[in-house]
Amino acid sequence: MRTIRFAAAVASALALSTPASAGFFDFTLAPFVGASVGQATSDISCPAGTSCDDSDLAWKLFGGLEVNEYISMEFGYVDMGEVEYTGAQTGVREVNGVTMRLIGSYALNPSFTLTGSGGLNILNADVKGTTNAEDTDVAWSVGLGAQYNFTKSVGLRMEWERFFEVGSSDFNGGTGEADIDLITAGVVFKF
């Protein structure tokens, strides 16, 4: 009798443990690609006597690997448009570069997923005009988003991302540092 109870307890434990361990450790290793378009807004401070148009059209191309249903790795290229200076100083400040992010996702249902991201990005800030300066540096980013999946392979992704301290200090002729908010919507194709 004791052996039957022990066998029943072991069988119950194994049966209940399988669903609990499923999910996070189930590697899907599904590659994906995508493209997004939106708006970038920079919090760059304008020099005295100068006005700035700090928002512009932005776009990005990306690809990555869905490790499991909760974590993805993504690499891409982003062009955050330009800030235009007019007045005492004239010119433009352009920002673009390579993005590398880790994305966490939580599916509310098969069609709708919430995402959060963090990344290390190599961005180039280039100022041309009254003063000329260029800086390529590492900038950290965070983001929040949502994705609506039309099918298992095609989804619509909307995101907000913030890139921190892009550029170099404007002391001694730098590009100026700015935080940049990027709001995009785009299509994701999963293989």
Each residue of 113-147: pLDDT tens digit?
999 999 999 999 998 988 888 999 999 999 999 99
Nearest to 191 by CA among 53, 72, 92, 100: 72
Q: Is residue 152 in a domain?
A: yes
Q: Is residue 17 in a domain?
A: no
Q: Which domain holds residue 35?
A: 26-190
Q: Is residue 75 in a domain?
A: yes
> Rounded to whole angstroms, how far apart are CA atoms 148 and 134?
38
The conformational region for residue 91 under phi > 0 = left, psi -120 to 50 = alpha, else beta, is left
Nearest to 125 by CA among 141, 117, 137, 113: 137
Q: Is residue 30 in a domain?
A: yes
Q: Is residue 2 in a domain?
A: no
pLDDT digits (tens, 9 = 90+) for 142-163: 999 999 999 999 999 999 999 9
Look up the pTM and report it: 0.82
Q: Is residue 4 in a domain?
A: no
pLDDT digits (tens, 9 = 90+) for 10-51: 555 555 544 444 556 678 889 999 999 999 999 987 777 788
pLDDT at 119: 95
Going along the chain, which residue ranges are E strands? 30-42, 50-53, 55-66, 71-87, 91-107, 112-129, 133-149, 154-166, 178-190
CATH of the domain at 155: 2.40.160.20
Q: Is residue 121 in a domain?
A: yes
- Per the listing, tokens 């990027």 go with 182
Q: How many domains does the chain have?
A: 1
CB contact at 8 A, 96 and 83:
no
Asked which of 85-89, 107-111, 121-125 is least confident by mean pLDDT, the reply is: 85-89
pLDDT at 130: 81
